[in-house]
Structure 1
Amino acid sequence: MNRFQQQLEAQQGIQDMIAQHAPLPRTLAAITAMIEGQLPGSRCSVMLYHPDHHQLAFAAGAGFSADYARALAAIPVGPGIGTCGSAAFHRRLVVTEHIAEDPGWNGFHRLAAAEGLQACWSTPVLTRNGRLLGTFAIYHGQPARPRAADHELVDRAAALVALAVMRDQDRQSLQVQEQRYRSLFLHHPDAVFELDLDGRFVSANPGTAALTGFSPGELAGRHHGELVTVADRPRAEAAFADVCQGRARQCEITLVRAGGEFCLVEVTELPIIVNQQVLGVYGIARDIGRRRRDESQLRLLQRGIEASTNGVVILDAGQPDHPIVYANSPFLAMTGYRREEVLGRNPRFLEGPDPDPASADRIERALRQQQELQITVRNYRKDGTAFWNRLVISPVRDEQGNCTHFVEIQQDITRQKENEERLAYYAGHDYLTGLPNRRQFEARLAHDDELSRRRHSPLAVCYIDLDDFKPVNDNLGHHVGDELILAVANRLKSVLEPGELLARLSGDEFVLLLPGLDDKTLIRRAEQLLSLLSTPFELPGHRLQLSASLGIATHAARHRHPADLIRFADQAMFEAKRQGRNTWHWYEGDGNRSNGQYVLLRRELQEALQHNQFELHYQPVVDARTGAMRGAEALARWRHPHKGLIPPAAFIPLAEQTGQIIPLGQWVLQQACRDLRQLPDDLTVAVNISPLQFHRAGFVEELGALLERHGIPGRRLELEITEGVLMTGTEQAIATLHRLRRLGIVTAIDDFGTGFSSLSYLRTLPIQKIKLDRSFIADITDHPQSAAIVQGVITMARHLQLEVVAEGIETEAQRRDLTERGCDRLQGFYFSKPLPLAEFRAGMAHWGD
């Protein structure tokens, strides 16, 4: 026999092994042995591809040691990873003539040398559609390259490996499918069986034996009609005949069990079609007697409860999610759903978008433990409206004590619940405004008082009483008075901050709880409230102008009981009334503010206003680059007849607290306009305006009339306001700024960077300047943080086209630093202290161009 015939016989033998489903390792070993026999001196291996890990694993090759086989148990597929890893990656033959010189064998050189391997040719094993199955490799003990005949040999071996692997995979897949079908057949709880075209049993699962009482052996060869009652046999035969024609059928028949008992079953029959030919029938049968009995019982229950005034639903306890199997008409009317929309669903769909976790947990626990439960829950109708549902859940048990169903009785108690809530609400709220009443306010005050003492944080009570409210009731009627009270309440609520509480005590009296505010912030809030209430109220058919008197009491007042703070604030409010109304007063009982010096200073301040003891001093504002004077700031000074010159810090806060800042501010504006007539036409004068004055009704009109009376154009007057002005009544403040701008008046934000207003307003405010607070300037040359803030403000202002003025310049280093940073205007003692008008005019030459 020649060599070619030997090769053909060897190849035929391998193909026979594949056809006879020989174990894959034995077939692969035979392929490697065949190639080794045809290529003397070579050693062959097969590696199989595992797609889950994208790796090759050694599978066959008798000429290799166990250590070598273990080392090749998980070779990644990729470029430059040995010869086989590269061949699998590139999907082509890869030849390594000299393993020791191939960097792709790094990590395996010593192993190859120990195995006596110097050359390797590897080709991928692929399916016809290119799916990778593995690699086939030929090794040599000396450097070698394949010849044309070797290429053919390698390809032939790879083809045989591919055929063997694919056949093995097909066989395994078929076995898995058969096992799955067998498992489904054997373990299906229903009766599953096969009939031939004569209607006789071919096979049956244990479920069939349990349903019929006959073992699978007893059923084999028996006609299915023998298990059906005579009355139902024609229907069963007709259904079987239809299935034999290729159509699936389902029917209900009465089964005769082995012991003669009758059983109602639902049978589904399916044709077995192979190559478009019906070869038999599969059947599935299920006992539906219990279901029919349950349905009958439900019909009886339905007739008994359909006339009930309460909603009733019945849940199936045997199903995991306890679906509704019955709902009476009152339940449908109460919820707005149709019957088909609720059957099969768990009643939790009534919980809506905001279920109460605690109630839901109680219901789930009662169902899980099969216990009775009475609970009131908030449910939702189909149209989204809420209703209060008094729910009673009761388990229904069978003869063995097993829970088969739950009955839920549902009663709509929304009207009763609303009445209860309304009574509870108005026990703590004012009927007209809906605000908390004295009872609720005192409860909250007691809580915050205790918290304030424990944390050593401030707490204040502000008592608000409307001025001259009685004439509104007397002249316009109580209905208008009620509308006005409601409008006042809404306006006060609009400025509440988090943590604050507003209450109506009686008539036209309100009280405000203000936690966590320092004295300065309290003053701003008081001014805000006065300004807020002085804005006219637009009511149907009436435009009413109001004012209010405010009394403030804080923890500084020594109180034994939290309610004392309300009494103290009430006393302070009456003091504000005595001061002329439309102002506020701080309680002066036993607190720090009751000392004689404070009372004396307040009285002297009133005398100073009456006897013209105030005067204006002017401090120049210069150009940062040229040093030329561009304007001046008017600063009020109090020349006391006995104490001499009193600085603003000693009397301005007092004037703000007592409301005397209003006449003082009016005097400053009048005097500044008089002095402007004695100053050059191109010089502007800046005047500080308090928030109380700025928000006061008629402020812009009074200022316009003042300018006109003195013949001063608006462009020569500059108003400086603090950020606090914008913190309250923001929209009204912006409107006032626009009106000032139309008069030609320049407005600037004073002490910029020390307030808490939102920078978002800065984009739209009709202002022209911002003034950097002196606290940032004092240490600008020593503290990088202050310098960074100043630089940030200057850069921001430049992009917003705003002019920046820095005040408090006292050294040359500060002047030079701010000039280099691009500040526009400078002001401070470095240039000049504030001077009386005569001295200021005399010194103007020093600041000229």
Structure 2
Amino acid sequence: MGHKPFNQHRLHVYDLIARHAPLQDSLGAIAALIERQLDGARVSIMLYDAARHTLSLTGGEGRFSDAYREAVTDLPVGPEVGTCGVVAHTRQMRITADIQADSNWQGFYHLAEQEGLRACWSCPIMGPDDDLLGTFATYYSHVRTPVDEEIELALRAAGLVALAIGHYRERQTREQTEAELRLLKRGIEASPNGVVIADALADDQPLIYASPAFMQISGYSRDEVLGRNCRFLQGVDTDPQALAQLRSAIRQHREVTQVLKNYRKDGTPFWSQISVSPLFDEQGACTHFVGVQQDITLQRESEELLAYQARYDRLTGLPNWKSFEQRLNHDYALSQQGRHHPLALLYIDLDDFKPVNEVLGHAVGDQLLIEVAKRIREQLEPGDMLTRMSGDEFVLLSGRNTAAEVADVAESILAALSPPFEIGGNSLHISASIGMAMSGSALSGRALDLVSQADQAMQQAKAQGCNTWYCYSTEVKAGSMEPLRLRRELADAINQQQLVLHYQPIVTTDTGRFVAAEALVRWLHPQRGMVSPAEFIPVAERTGQIIAIGRYVLQQACQDMADLRRTTGRCIPVSVNISPVQFRRSGFFDELKAILQASGLPPEQLVLEVTENVLMSGTESSIELLHRIRDMGVGVAIDDFGTGFSSLSYLRQLPVNKIKLDRSFICDITTSRGHAAIVQGIITMAHHLGLQVVAEGIETEAQREDLLQRECDLLQGFLFSRPVPMTALLALPEHPRG
């Protein structure tokens, strides 16, 4: 070992680094430092080129011959490429006591012998983010193995090299960035458009420059702008699709131009045409973004006003007749060519609207028309188009395909108009007469003939006493009225409390112990007896009645279990199915919270069951809602797992507790190898994600035994109990098998 202390020489290296000495000087000083400490050693410092995946000798000039230096320039990284090539490949220190005996030196034996190298100790040089910077090696002219102190010295030297390289690269990047920013600043100070520069390498890409024009447009001061991401200009009406396209381009480091609705400091909106361009350094890395903002508010507002007036009704905001007629003609032409399903038209005329205007005034009448339009729009589906034809007449172009479906739309509109309208202190009741017409092979001529037929049908509805509908077509037959009749009776069932809850126990697979229950709605019809959920739930989902049913089930299940807990001290966690319509409905979370508070049921005793399809559409809002539900303590299970999208990579992102295997996989699990494999795969995957698995539809002991072997957690099915009323549920034994 050398005579002077290592730390004394290390201070000299630190001084070179601090004074921003050339990198070659710092590396040379480190090599000299180690050679003084290790008698007879020759030090090589090789730097790693990530783009080429090679090493090149950088430190240690003068210690090796020109021929050797040329031979190890752009040395590939990998096994059998000498000691340093292997070290760079494995990122682990390697000791080669005898080069001539190391197979990794094959092809280099003659070079090493010619250079007088017999031993090599090498260790990787790693950056702060565990990125490879190069290798540090000591060579000897004779066979030699290091002692612990020498190994420690080599590792410390590699750390010094990493420090020198890091400082050099950081300084180089900073100087280049500052030069570019100075150049950009001189070029944009005089621009009338707002110009900003964001740091692409920093977290959240903060603004590091903003032009005077940007401050004038936005109303913010320079101190309020710098250091923030430019999203502070955005607001509730900023187009999310435009934002998504803008952010996608930024992530991909490509130029993009978008028009956005932004907000000034005082809250007033303005329209901006924003162009964003990435700036790249010499290595091709994106370091900054330049954004140019042009205020186009006056231009945009003028264009929007003209476009709106040309397409929409001034009073209701509905598409005007011109827009509606264009759509009708377009769809009608496609229908006649067989490229579009038959058209359905509903002509809606308010009953006795004229007295409202005459008695209460046109202001009240206009407000009533606005509210009527809102209620009708709530009954529409994507693709439907509603217009106000004139006065109190509306025309609806519906995407429904059958007469029964169109009749159902008419019924939903009549029901929506039934509750009173509270306008200007007046409680107004209004109804409508609806005429329906559907295109078909018998219809020919113009699209407006369909309007004429719907108008004639509406007159027939008026003649029948108003507040009803009449179909011009002969396609509405007795059989097609069944869904309509069921819908009406279901409305009565909800209002007259004909719905009841039954509960089916959920048991542990290994012991068969009753640990939870699922709440299932039943319809006790006064004449027909028990109506199957398979018959009325699809109708309820299509008409929106599922919201009222779902609310009842949730309220009653929570109340039943809370009452049980208060009266007996017994706690039975309850699972409740939540329909897609109910889950996506605005205010569902607040409704859930209110129901739990009103019943007094601890959130931990409730599990909400939602289907995969609910979670795979509208993913961001769905996941956010699930997180809020889970944070409240309520459990979440994915129902009918395996029948929807079944995205396993997506499942791990969801804040759920359980997945429920669909019964279609269980019914033949003992005979179908395919279904058995799917079930086993789901169980294994779920357990790796920390989720419980519930299997539904267990009807035989063989199925239970099979699922026990597959380590399924919980079971549910007729083998243990059919769905039963609450009193019967409490009478079940602790192990309800058989």
TM range (shorter): 0.3 to 0.5
Structure ranking higher on relative contact order (CA contacts 8 Å, 6+ apart): 2
Q: State the TM-score, normalized to the length of structure 1.
A: 0.38
Q: State the TM-score, normalized to the length of structure 2.
A: 0.43
